[in-house]
Structure 1
């Protein structure tokens, strides 16, 4: 998989999906409840559990995160290597565009 594919995978994500990836990048694994709590704090509101679950499942299908059931009740999520590379590429892209306020820089 080349670097352009990795960048495009994250470019096609919604802002909410990218926020989920960012939240998952802070620790090795998270359970669904800890991810929800972190995003509730960030957004300042109680997120819909169904929306969160659907979004996590979409990221699993895109191979950006991995999901496993722990103790038959707790679902844990972690970034895959593909997800880490995609998030890193996104951060590099953002860093390269900070401070670029000229019209030429936006063409």
Structure 2
């Protein structure tokens, strides 16, 4: 996961939290989070990248619409990332008390 961009990590988190989202649903969620328009030229190459890395699987709903699901590897990578983040966040919480 260390070789993903922050945007790709956000894509991975968003897919993990949804039930087989399609590209436009992912785009809408990310636009809400980033509070800015996400262009297709940014979204789809990054989706392809996480698919190519084996973190996400792409399926076909119909000839025009794909859906995305997190793989077991993607889930493990997210869990490892959360553990890594928590060691720093928990130390902040402890020192603030």
Same fold (TM over 0.5): yes
* 1:30 partner SS: coil
Is 1:37 aligned to 2:37, yes or no?
Answer: no
Structure 1 stretches (4+) deviating beyond 6 angstroms? none
Task: Report the TM-score, using the length of structure 1 for normalisation.
Answer: 0.81
Provide the rounded CA distance (Å) in 2 between the counterparts of 1:87 and 1:93: 10
**Cα distance, 1:48 vs structure 2:** 1.1
Provide the rounded CA distance (Å) in 2 between the counterparts of 1:68 and 1:50: 20
**Cα distance, 1:28 vs structure 2:** 3.0
Residue ranges of structure 2 left out of the alignment (5+ in a row): 93-97
Provide the rounded CA distance (Å) in 2 between the counterparts of 1:68 and 1:99: 37
Among 2, 16, 32, the residue aligned to 1:11: 2
Provide the rounded CA distance (Å) in 2 between the counterparts of 1:93 and 1:84: 14
The number of residue pairs the alignment matches comes to 92
Is 1:71 aligned to 2:26, yes or no?
Answer: no
Give 1:1-107 correspondences, 5 Å limit.
10-100=1-91
**Cα distance, 1:19 vs structure 2:** 0.3
- RMSD across aligned positions (CA): 1.1
Provide the rounded CA distance (Å) in 1 between the counterparts of 2:15 and 2:57: 11
Task: Report the TM-score, using the length of structure 2 for normalisation.
Answer: 0.89
